[in-house]
């Protein structure tokens, strides 16, 4: 469990429904709910910090301005070289019906 004196984690997030979106003053969505459950189980305190793009979120994590980024973030070879990712929770692909 995280120490009570530890600073809350900064969680980078951007609007990308249904994964993350603002619902009034609160962030909501599939990725947000998953993060909230992980944080609860691990005893992490956190605060959300919104960003405009995924690139901005990932740069913030790289520079230590955010501790984690959540949302619709695709794992690319370049991103994998720069950052650590969790196991993907959603896979998308192209399907063509003829």
- pLDDT exceeding 90 applies to what percent of the chain? 69
Cα 35 to chain centroid distance, Å, stands at 7
Q: pLDDT tens digit string along 23-55? A: 999 999 999 999 999 999 999 999 999 999 999
Banded pLDDT at 96 (limits 50, 70, 90)? confident
Range of the domain at 75: 9-82
* CATH code, domain carrying 69: 3.40.190.10
Total number of domains constituting the chain = 1
Counting runs of H as helices and runs of E as strands, what totals does the chain give?
3, 5
Helix (H, G, I), strand (E, B) or coil at 14: coil
**Distance of alpha carbon 8 from alpha carbon 80, whole angstroms:** 26
**Distance of alpha carbon 73 from alpha carbon 94, whole angstroms:** 17
Domain for residue 27, yes or no?
A: yes
């Amino acid at each position: 469990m995280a120490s009570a004196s530890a600073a809350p984690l900064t969680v980078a997030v951007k609007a990308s429904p249904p994964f993350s979106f603002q619902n009034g003053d609160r962030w909501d969505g599939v990725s947000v709910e998953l993060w909230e459950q992980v944080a609860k189980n691990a005893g992490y305190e956190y605060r959300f910090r919104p960003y405009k793009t995924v690139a901005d979120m990932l740069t913030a994590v790289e520079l230590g301005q955010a501790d984690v980024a959540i949302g619709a973030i695709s794992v690319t070879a370049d991103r994998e070289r720069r950052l650590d990712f969790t196991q993907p929770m959603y896979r998308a692909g192209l399907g063509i019906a003829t």
